[in-house]
Amino acid sequence: MLKRTLIGLLRSFEQTGDKAKDPELKSHYYKLSKDKAWDEVVSTLKKMQGYKVLHEVQSVGEIVLEKRTVTGRTMDITVSIIGTNPLTTAVDIYSASRGSFGDLGSNYRVILDIYRTLDKKLAVYKVTNP
């Protein structure tokens, strides 16, 4: 966690992906069709406290959220839903803080928070080793 805070002194964004070095930032996979995953993810995100869904673009599989921090900064979050095959869908998250200073690891924590919530809601569909 200290390493994340130090990285966050300089960087004001964080993202997930298959090639992420940090295992916490690897893409999450669910055994669901893209359409079903879309419905589940959107409904879950809309219920999350402190997050506001701004845009949903199902055709490209993106949901744009906003979160205000306790210090008043705004974070822009994009959740991408990618159908990897007809039965499996990947979810990736990009989170960035507005402003010129680093985020002290808050984008990292937001990503973990969203993944934890999705993993809990979609536990029966979670794929551990895609």
CATH architecture of 2-127: 2-Layer Sandwich (3.30)
pTM of the predicted model as reported, rounded to 2 decimal places? 0.90
Print pLDDT tens along the chain (130 aa). Answer: 555 555 555 668 899 999 998 999 999 999 999 999 999 999 999 999 999 999 999 999 999 999 998 778 899 999 999 999 999 999 999 999 987 676 777 899 999 999 999 999 999 999 987 7
d(CA 33, CA 6): 38
- Report domain extents, the chain: 2-127
Torsion over CA: 23, 25, 28, 69 (sign): positive
